[in-house]
Amino acid sequence: MLNTLRRIVQEVTAARDLDQALDVIVLRVKKAMEVDVCSVYLTDKTHCENVLMATDGLNDEAVGMVRLKNSLGLIGLVGEREEPINLANAPLHPRYQYFPGSGEERYHAFLGVPIIHHRQLQGVLVVQRLTKKHFSEDKVTFLVTIAAQLAGAIAHAEAIGGITGLSGDTRKERGVVPLKGQSGSPGVAIGTAVVNYALANLEAIPDRSVGDVKLEVNLFKTAVKDVRKDIQSMLERMQEVLPAEDRALFDAYLLMLEGEAITGEVIRRIKQGNWASGALRETILEHIHAFDAMEDEYLRERADDVRDLGRRILEKLRSKEPQKPKKFPARTVLVGDEITASMLAEVPIKRLAGVVSKRGSQTSHVAILARAMGVSAVMGVDELPVSLMDGRSIIVDGYTGRVFINPSRTIREEFKHLLREEAELSKELRELRDKPAITPDNIGIPLYINSGLLADVTPSRKSGAEGVGLYRTEFPFMVRDRFPGEDEQFQIYRQVLKSFSPAPVTLRTLDVGGDKSLPYFPIEEDNPFLGWRGIRISLDHPEIFLVQLRAMLRASAGLNNMNLLFPMINSVAEVDDALRLLRRAHHELIDTGVSISMPHVGVMIEVPSAVYQVRELARRVNFLSIGTNDLTQYLLAVDRNNARVADLYDSLHPAVLRALQQIVDGAKDEKTPVSVCGEMAGDPAAAILLLGMGVDSLSMSAANLPRVKWVIRTFTQRKAHSLLKEALTFEYAHSVRNFLNAALEDAGLGGLVRAGR
């Protein structure tokens, strides 16, 4: 059964649109369960109906015609209860509703299970038999498993292909169901998808129309010829060390290359209009699915051989393709399995409108870069059909984490209106740039920016920031093929400190691990977010840490505007050890005759243990900086990179708010200033609460600073504290959000709510 399930899911996932996927489901499930009928009903949310969308066993004419209100029929009952309904004689059930012309009057046994994706009912999967007998428990659990596994695949197919006949309206008028990810960078982008992909990632190769068919065919044939030569060379090298039966694998590779099954099919697809790489992907994946569907275990394992052969051809093919300069549309939306910083850099900044990544989160580096650049981004879109995206019209809603593929005219107009609102709001916010962030009751809240790139310096100064609250020093480490030397780091830090002088700049020491890796210093862990990262790595490698500390101290000489921040602090012992190494680096420089004063030192509060030792930590340092991204993740036990639980990640969760208040109160008792440098600081609604808590300063992306300044200049601290007290009485995060949005509306700042809806 497990193999059957796997094969069905693979076929559905490979379908080019939802109609094809549904046909596969009813055909394969009927055969696997040995029943007389298998049908799929999908929920039309617009009309509150369940619609028969595919069947194998009922009359084909009934597809699209059988429509049941959600409250009617056995299908409606399955949807209401969100659990299986197993009946021996369905026509006797009071909720049974017969549709003339469907042909179901002959069938008695009925088993229906809900298809649920991210808590949303998508439809109902039904099997029926002529006999009057309940389905066995094995059959029930199998169908439940099938429905659960297919839910994501159906969502995938629906997003890219729509559902023909689901609604009475045409698909063009209805639009499509958006894909859901995480908000990576706020804003809206309407543009054209451009797929970027790793050269050797066969599955990510997009479809593209071919210009010169003859050239593409020749490129493919040359690539195949080169792979054949490589394999023959391998075979010769292995002649002496492998027995004949083991060398047969290479012979099999050669047979596949010489036959028409793969090469002939690829050439046929090229002639039909797909470029060589896309035709290769289609053909190889088709063969992989065929092998996976085989009953014989040995033959199933040959799918890996086909995949390996496909990747070898792809590598040769890509090396043979003429290197043309990439063309980017006027409003490019960069799409990929995993977008990297270098991919972003390839797109002219004036042409980059948005970013959509299958992997990553709102706190991944690409999301951080997108925010710094003012580019809308959605991360962690699990069901993103990357290979089918190239050239498609796309809308990126960076506020809510939604992606619309081939949106309808109605949806496009709605988002164009939102873009106009954004433009009007931005114009108003620009007028605040040179005004101080002071509340009406005369409380000053310095607003700083988070940064990590030298390219951010100029736009950051223009944003009206009063300094840098968090400079991420890991970027110079990530873009090199080795650890940067002391002088290299000195030059970078000096430039940042000098650019903002005399305004303060907080340099955070190296913070890698978790979702931030160095190519030359790999960290392989089962649970990286609870593993070797941040200050733990620095303390374990003083030879790296001391070099960075000396570079930072040297860079501050004569400027005296540097603050130093230790990340991922778990205990007072780590602070004591880090301070000891800092003093050692300082003494080493003093001994060389360099006159450098010790900087103000702070620690990041981002793990629960630090919350409960906040007073002890505050006594040892000059300031505390709350990293709300990780703190929220650890308090809620939610992996912020996992799109499946993204809805559970919310910094306005009551537990997070209470932890923040405890941190601020503990620091105040020790007379130690507190800043917030996580994404929460740039959220206008959350800024109200942070103001009410008594946070001393906020640090955020330059794009969010004007919005937060507007909030600070509108709400008195007294009013903010009153709102905080009421917010702390709520039990749900969404209740807190709605309450704060209402407060923004009442204060005449509704534009901030509408722009962030």
Q: Active site residue: 108, 117, 365, 653, which one? A: 365
Q: Based on the domain organization, do 259 and 313 belong to the same domain?
A: yes
Whether 63 is in a domain gets the answer yes
Per-residue pLDDT reduced to its tens digit, 603-631: 999 999 999 999 999 999 999 999 999 99
Q: What is the rounded distance in angstroms from the CA atom of residue 696 to the CA atom of residue 673?
A: 6
Q: Domain range spanning residue 86?
A: 2-174
**How high is the pLDDT of residue 527?**
72
Q: Any catalytic annotation for residue 365? A: yes
What pLDDT sits at residue 255? 77
Q: Give a yes or no: residue 421 inside a domain.
A: no
List all residues 6 or more positions away from 593 whose beta carbon is below 8 Å from its beta carbon: none
pLDDT at 174: 38
Residues 149 and 189 in one domain: no
**Residue 338 in this model has a pLDDT that exceeds 90:** no
Q: Exposed, middle or buried, 601 (CB in 10 Å: 0-12/13-18/19+)?
A: middle
339 pLDDT band, cuts 50/70/90, is: confident
CA-to-CA dists, residue 29 to 36, 102, 154, 666, angstroms: 11, 20, 15, 60
Give the residue ranges of DSSP H helices in 293-436.
Answer: 297-320, 341-346, 365-373, 409-430
Higher pLDDT, 581 or 389: 581
Mean of the pLDDT values across residues 523-537?
79
Please tell me which of 190-204, 348-362, 484-498 the model is most confident about, judged by mean pLDDT: 484-498
Question: What is residue 498's predicted lDDT score, i.e. its pLDDT?
Answer: 93
Mean pLDDT of 218-231: 88
> Among 55-64, 340-349, 455-464, 629-638, where is mean pLDDT lowest?
455-464
* Per-residue model confidence (pLDDT) at position 165: 46
CATH of residue 354 = 3.50.30.10
Structure token digits, residue 25 = 């489901």
- The sign of the torsion formed by the CA atoms of 482, 484, 485, 488 equals positive
* Most confident among 226-230, 274-278, 631-635, 646-650 (mean pLDDT): 631-635
Residue scoring higher pLDDT (620 or 321): 620
- Which range (46-60, 62-76, 130-144, 633-647) has the least confidence? 633-647
Distance CA(667)–CA(296), nearest Å, equals 66
**pLDDT at residue 175 is higher than 60:** no
CATH number at residue 10: 3.30.450.40
Statement: residue 250 has pLDDT above 80: no
Threshold 0.75, pTM exceeds: no
Coil, helix or strand at residue 450: strand
- Position 16 confidence tier, pLDDT thresholds 50, 70, 90: low
| Phi and psi at residue 104, to the nearest 5° | -85, 0
- Asked if 164 and 246 sit in the same domain, the reply is no
Mean pLDDT of the chain: 85
Q: Are residues 680 and 548 in the same domain?
A: yes
Last residue of some domain: 251, 286, 320? 320
Task: Answer whether residue 426 is part of any domain.
Answer: no
Q: Looking at the structure, tell me whether residues 193 and 206 fall in a common domain.
A: no
Residue 621 within a domain: yes
Q: Which residue has the tokens 């951080």?
A: 368
Is there a single domain that holds both residue 490 and residue 610? yes
φ, ψ at 335 (rounded to 5°)? -125, 140
Confidence of residue 591 (pLDDT cuts 50, 70, 90): very high
pLDDT band at residue 161 using 50, 70 and 90 as cut-offs? low
Q: Are 225 and 295 contained in the same domain?
A: yes
Confidence of residue 302 (pLDDT cuts 50, 70, 90): low
Domain count, the chain: 4
**Angle at which helices 628-636 and 654-669 pack, to 10 degrees?**
120
CATH number at residue 207: 1.10.274.10
Transcribe 642-699 into DSSP letters.
Answer: -GGGGGG--TTSHHHHHHHHHHHHHHHHTT--EEE-SGGGG-HHHHHHHHHHT--EEE
The confidence band for 662, taking pLDDT boundaries of 50, 70 and 90, is very high
The domain boundary residue, chosen from 293, 320, 347? 320
Whether residue 499 lies inside any domain: the answer is: yes
pLDDT > 90 fraction of the chain, expressed in percent and rounded: 46
pLDDT tens digit sequence for 271-299:
988 888 888 988 888 888 777 666 555 55
Give the whole-number percent of the chain exceeding pLDDT 70.
86
Please check whether residue 164 lies inside any domain of the structure.
Answer: yes
How many CB atoms neighbour CB 337 within 10 A?
Answer: 18
Q: Which amino acid is at 460?
A: S
Task: Give the whole-angstrom CA distance, residue 288 versus residue 31.
Answer: 21
- Is residue 418 one of the residues assigned to a domain? no
Q: What is the 3-state secondary structure (H, E, C) of 138-170?
A: HHHHHHHHHHHHHHHHHHHHHHHHCCCCCCCCC
| 206 and 192 fall within a common domain | no
Q: Give SS3 for 18.
A: helix
pLDDT of residue 237: 62
Average pLDDT over residues 336-353: 80
pLDDT at 523 > cutoff 80: no
Residue 173 pLDDT more than 50? no
Q: What is the mean predicted confidence (pLDDT) over 245-266?
A: 74
pLDDT tens-digit series, residues 418-442? 888 777 777 777 788 889 999 999 9
Does position 76 have pLDDT exceeding 70, yes or no? yes
Q: What pLDDT is recorded for position 171? A: 35
Question: Are 621 and 603 a contacting pair, CB within 8 Å?
Answer: yes
Q: Tokens for 316? A: 């040769």
Average pLDDT over residues 339-362: 81
Q: Average pLDDT, stretch 541-554?
A: 95
Do 489 and 402 belong to one domain? no
Does residue 377 share a domain with residue 515?
no
* Residue 711 pLDDT class (50, 70, 90 cuts): very high
Let me know if residue 414 belongs to a domain. Answer: no
Residues 287 and 227 occupy one common structural domain: yes
Position 40 scores a pLDDT of 94
Judge if 446 and 403 occupy the same domain. no
Q: What tens digit of pLDDT does each residue of 722-743 get?
A: 999 999 999 999 999 999 999 9
Catalytic residue selected from 156, 586, 653, 677: 677
Mean pLDDT of 631-642: 86
Catalytic residue status for 677: yes
356, 313, 373, 696: which is closest to 504 by C-alpha? 696
Q: Identify any residues that bridge with 117 across adjacent strands, giving them in sequence order.
A: 120
Residue 757 confidence (pLDDT) above 60: no
